Chain A
């Protein structure tokens, strides 16, 4: 607490004494950061530059206007014997202070336009990535590569609710980051699956809304490997603050290795779909999937939130025929917050979580749901 107070004092001090240095020393995780990051792409640099121009233009005008105002408040106070004059018009000054600001704005419009053109320069990418916002996670698909995965928060609820100490990367860690290579122009195609989200990485200067039924695009190209953290910036329901973006930029060789690994994983996975899973395996796997993907709404104890999210415990679907249960996960429930998980979870994970839901919290149906059942349902459509 005391340390924090000291840090705060220092940062206030630095604000006062070193305005010119504002933002030049950006430490990514610093609690003292006061300014927009310069970031690592052309776009973020352009945003930063135009931001700083505006800061200085406003500062200069502000100092002039407020300086004059404070002078007036000092010099023309009644207690100093000021006697009011009676003028109330002056065409020349009035015209001046209409025209001069207009000219300043017209000049400002030039760099503002150039910067925007840069943001929109999404043509000729080397790599295209489709980003889909889900309540409350991101899906990344490397177009043309057959690689696709979900990226969701990896901070435990215990940390959120104060039952465990908060780690250094609290709310800034995900199960699997988006991995990108240096030196390549990457186009992001952003869309939403349910409600509107917004995909933001400050260090890339990319913030694009993820809107169901639409694609928005942004781009990035950087030469600096590293880990860049961003956020969801459009209110998307109760998990809005809990779906961070983490991007890992790697050297090209490392990236290729990683991509090859992901492709091999996909091939290997295909072979597990046909395999017969035991009830215990499914139960263990299913619990993990449930806590990760379902508990946000249906709650860890399967009790749901009355009036908003139905309970799984004792639900007619969970206790009814298996095929109906599979259908809900694959098709979703139209017109409700229950989305289709067909693209979000693998067949194995869907089978596991269905098995878990049908056999946890006293839902003792006793049957076993195999990945192949899920696949068959999908293919029957």
Chain B
């Protein structure tokens, strides 16, 4: 065991122990990534059920009660089970390689923070089979629908959220400790790859807001079981308090999701432009600015709760401001490509699509920040379209780009470029067919989380469902591509897999050996 990882050849027992007891950052990264993909299939299945039901007006396949469980579970699984673990997985794999560290700073905690996750999601998913059904109050679980009016299983939901939170906090502490202490000689902060920077900032956001989420669900637990009235108006509490607490977590959370994605794209675009990232330091400052602003805009999700106008104006102005650092990032990426020598391999295609579609989502975000107009947009499909442009075409596209980009380094095999590009186009087209029409639906007046709708919305819903199925198919192709690469891909021997790539991760052998940088490299 001391000399390299156990493989299947060493027998089942040794192989399973390797994964269960591993403290190796690469193994743990791999576990996170596969876990996240498994959850992607699960959350995707929920989405397919939703879109199948919405294919036509009327209730055809499921009951409204189950529909609400599907939208809730879809959101929870995608946010907490797919996007966050996927980026933690990438962080585990890449941060030590990028800063020249032999492993993460706290390897045992690393093991723990991964292995509690499957339990959290097993608990969460099991609620679907409980009497009364699973959580049915939306991923934002507004009280009192999630307290007084919730199914019994809400206690399991709360427990699952606590575990996820603990996992995220441990993961973040580990990343902060690693980056602060284990950088190779010469790797100053302002030389760190942007992916590392965005992750450190994300980790600070996580440490700051996960306890707030834990507080929110604990107050729920007390209201439900111990007779308190934090959110119960009849007992002197305030349902709007819940929303403030939730969004104080929730808005930074959306940046927790997107910042690592910014990091990934900032690695990939320079590689395929064969040119250094434009405006490195402004990228760092913009990321920090976005992180800071994310703490002071939360009530833009609550423009219709009847805040005083002064509060409403403040949250509107503050939210509009976010467009400035976000714009800086987009301009930097495009200028990185300017006068480069561009090629369009699959990771680059996904990254370019990221820039375009994320910017589009940023535009709708800017529109949503205008409080008077948000009175019309709020809680309609327009918002659904907005956050799928930023979260799916943002986070998921960049995650996919990352997989194609680093897969050859991880497993020493090259994916099939044609297959990769076909997958890209299916995903890109499917995504837009699914989500572009949702803007129209929202503007025309279709509220979100509707199990059924009037006939005037029938056409675009049908189009959207078709697009969703195509996009779902693209993910099966991704799985196929990854498995085919691992099993049958063409071996890669160069350390530097991509011609234009820069950074320490490309100085280790391909495939990356089980232990790397046992002696710290010198970074010029």
Residue ranges of A at the interface with B (Cβ–Cβ < 8 Å): 4, 7-8, 11, 29-37, 43-44, 46-47, 50-51, 54-55, 58, 61-62, 65-66, 68-69, 72-73, 76-79, 82-90, 93-94, 97-98, 101-102, 105, 108-109, 112-113, 115-120, 135, 159-162, 166, 168-172, 194-196, 198, 200, 202, 205-209, 211-217, 230-242, 244, 305-308, 334-337
Contact with A along B258-301 (1 / 0, CB 8 A): 00000000000000011111111110000000000000000000
Highest count of chain A CB atoms <10 Å: which of B58, B151, B317: B58
When chains A and B are docked, how far (Å) is the Cα of A194 from the Cα of B146? 12
Q: Nearest B residue to A173 by beta-carbon distance?
A: B454
A215 and B359 form a contact (CB under 8 A):
no
Pick from B335, B370, B380 the residue with the most CB of A within 10 Å. B370
Shortest CB distance A56–B (Å)? 11
Of all chain A residues, the one with the shortest Cβ separation from B327 is A101
Chain A residues with CB under 8 A of B462: 4
The CB with the most chain B CB atoms within 10 A, among A43, A50, A215, is that of: A50
Query: What would be 24 A-B contacts, judged by CB atoms less than 8 Å apart?
Result: A29-B456, A31-B460, A34-B444, A46-B372, A61-B363, A65-B330, A72-B334, A77-B342, A78-B342, A79-B343, A108-B320, A109-B320, A112-B320, A116-B309, A166-B57, A171-B454, A202-B445, A212-B234, A216-B306, A233-B448, A241-B447, A244-B454, A307-B131, A336-B148
Distance between Cα atoms of A79 and B340 in the complex (Å): 12
Q: Map CB proximity to A onto B129-153 as digits: 1 under 8 Å, 0 otherwise.
A: 0111100111000101100110110
A7, A54, A118, A206: residue with the most chain B Cβ atoms closer than 10 Å: A54
With A195-B145, A231-B445: A118-B372 Cβ-Cβ less than 8 Å: yes
B360→A62 contact, CB < 8 A = yes
The complex places the Cα of A218 from the Cα of B417 at a distance, in Å, of 57
CB–CB B338/A212 < 8 A: no
Of B57, B130, B278, B335, which is within 8 A of A170 by CB?
Answer: B57
B371 interfacial contact with A, CB 8 Å: yes
Within 8 Å of chain A (Cβ to Cβ): is B188? no
CB <8 Å contact, A172 and B367: no
A234→B379 contact, CB < 8 A: yes
Which of B131, B317, B378, B452 is within 8 Å of A241, CB to CB? B452
- B372→A307 contact, CB < 8 A: no
A102 to B321, CA, bound (A): 7
Does A105 contact B320, Cβ atoms closer than 8 Å?
A: yes
Using a CB–CB cutoff of 8 Å, the interface residues on chain B facing chain A are: 57-60, 63-65, 68, 130-133, 136-138, 142, 144-145, 148-149, 151-152, 233-234, 238-240, 273-282, 304-306, 309, 312-313, 316-317, 320-321, 323-324, 327-328, 330-331, 334-344, 352, 355-356, 359-360, 363, 366-367, 370-373, 375-376, 378-380, 440, 443-445, 447-460, 462-463, 500
User: Which one, A79, A196, A336, contacts B145 given CB within 8 A?
Assistant: A196
Among candidates A55, A94, A169, A207, residue contacting B378 with C-beta atoms closer than 8 Å: A207
Give Cα A236 to B239, complex, Å: 13
Asked whether A54 lies within 8 Å of B373 as measured between CB atoms, the reply is: yes
Query: From B369, which residue of chain A is reached at the shortest CB distance?
Result: A112
Instruction: Count CB-based A-B contacts (< 8 Å).
Output: 314
Given contacts A211-B239, A213-B239, A237-B145, contact A112 B306 (CB under 8 A): no
Q: Is the CB of A170 within 8 A of B455?
A: yes
Residue from B145, B276, B359 in contact with A236 in the complex, judged by beta carbons closer than 8 Å = B145
B136 CB contact (under 8 Å) in A36, A209, A214, A238: A238
Determine the chain B residues whose CB is within 8 A of the CB of A194 once the complex forms: 144, 149
* A305 CA / B440 CA spacing, docked (Å): 36
CB distance from B105 to the nearest CB of A (A): 31
Nearest chain B residue, comparing its CB with the CB of A82: B341
Given contacts A51-B373, A116-B309, A209-B304, contact A170 B454 (CB under 8 A): yes
A88–B324 CB distance below 8 A: no
| Least CB separation from B138: chain A residue | A235
CB distance from B361 to the nearest CB of A (A): 11
Q: A85-B275, A212-B239 are in contact. Are A161 and B58 (CB under 8 A)?
A: yes
Contact of A209 among B131, B306, B338 (CB under 8 A): B306
Most buried by A among B273, B336, B447: B447
Expressed in whole angstroms, the minimum distance between the Cβ of A59 and any Cβ of chain B is 9
Contacting B450 at CB < 8 Å: which of A30, A162, A172, A241? Answer: A241
Chain A positions within 8 Å of B341 at CB level? 76-78, 82-84
A43 to chain B, nearest CB (A): 8
Q: Which residues of B contact A214 (CB under 8 A)?
A: 233, 238-240, 306
Q: Is the CB of A105 within 8 A of B321?
A: yes
Given A115-B370, A195-B144, A207-B376: A241 touches B273 (CB 8 Å cut-off): no
Q: Which residues of A contact B450 (CB under 8 A)?
A: 231, 240-241
Kindly list chain A residues whose C-beta atoms are within 8 Å of the C-beta of B130. Answer: 307
CB contacts (< 8 Å) of A208 on chain B: these are: 304, 306
- Taking CB atoms, residues of chain A closer than 8 Å to B458 are 4, 31
Considering the complex, give the chain A residue whose CB is closest to the CB of B152.
A307
B273/A84 in contact, CB under 8 A: yes
Tell which of B57, B152, B336, B371 touches A112, judged by Cβ atoms closer than 8 Å.
B371
Question: Hey, which chain B residues are within 8 Å of A336, CB to CB?
Answer: 148-149
Q: How far is the CA of A7 from the CA of B459 in the complex (A)?
A: 9
Collect the chain A residues with CB atoms within 8 Å of residue B331's CB.
65, 93, 97
Which one, A29, A82, A195, A202, contacts B376 given CB within 8 A? Answer: A202
User: A113–B316 Cα gap in the complex (Å)?
Assistant: 9
Q: Is the CB of A213 within 8 A of B356?
A: no
Q: Which one of A46, A50, A88 contacts B277 once the chains associate, using CB atoms below 8 Å?
A: A88
> In the complex, which residues of chain B have a beta carbon less than 8 angstroms from the beta carbon of A97?
327-328, 331
Question: What residue in chain A is nearest B379 (Cβ atoms)?
Answer: A233
* Cross-interface CB contact of B323 among A69, A105, A235, cutoff 8 Å: A105
Smallest CB-CB A-B distances: 4 pairs? A213-B233, A307-B131, A216-B306, A307-B132
Give complex CA distance A208, B378 in Å: 10
Residue of A nearest to B56 (CB): A162
User: Is the beta-carbon distance between A89 and B279 smaller than 8 angstroms?
Assistant: yes
Report whether A62 and B359 are in contact in the complex, using a CB–CB cutoff of 8 Å. Answer: yes
From known contacts A77-B343, A113-B313, infer whether A8 and B459 are also in contact, taking CB-CB under 8 Å.
yes
Instruction: Check if B239 sits within 8 Å of A198, measured CB to CB.
Output: no
CB < 8 Å neighbour of A216 from B137, B304, B320:
B304
> Cβ of B313: which chain A residues have Cβ within 8 Å of it?
113, 116
Task: Determine whether the beta carbon of B273 is less than 8 Å from that of A234.
Answer: no
A232 closest partner in B (C-beta) = B447
Task: Using A54-B370, A105-B321, A231-B445 as known contacts, list a sample of 13 further A-B pairs with CB atoms less than 8 Å apart, ordered by residue number in A.
Answer: A47-B376, A54-B367, A69-B356, A78-B341, A84-B274, A120-B309, A162-B60, A170-B455, A198-B379, A206-B375, A209-B304, A215-B306, A216-B304
CA gap between A208 and B302 in the complex, in Å? 10
Asked whether A198 and B376 contact (CB < 8 A) given A98-B328, A231-B445, the answer is: no
Are B324 and A101 in touch, CB under 8 angstroms? yes
Tell me the smallest distance from the CB of B57 to a CB of chain A, in Å: 7
Task: Tell me the smallest distance from the CB of A150 to a CB of chain B, in Å.
Answer: 20
**Complex: chain A residue closest to B380, CB-CB:** A233
In-complex Cβ contact of A58 among B367, B375, B444, B452 (8 A): B367
A50 to B371, CA, bound (A): 10
State whether A76 touches B343 (Cβ < 8 A).
Answer: no
Report the minimal beta-carbon distance from B274 to chain A, rounded to whole angstroms.
4
Contact between A101 and B323, CB atoms less than 8 A apart: yes
Asked if residues B149 and A337 are in contact (CB atoms below 8 Å), the reply is yes
Q: Which chain B positions have C-beta within 8 A of A230? A: 445
- Chain A residues whose CB sits within 8 angstroms of the CB of B379 once the complex forms: 198, 207, 233-234
**Measured CA separation A46–B374 after assembly (Å):** 12
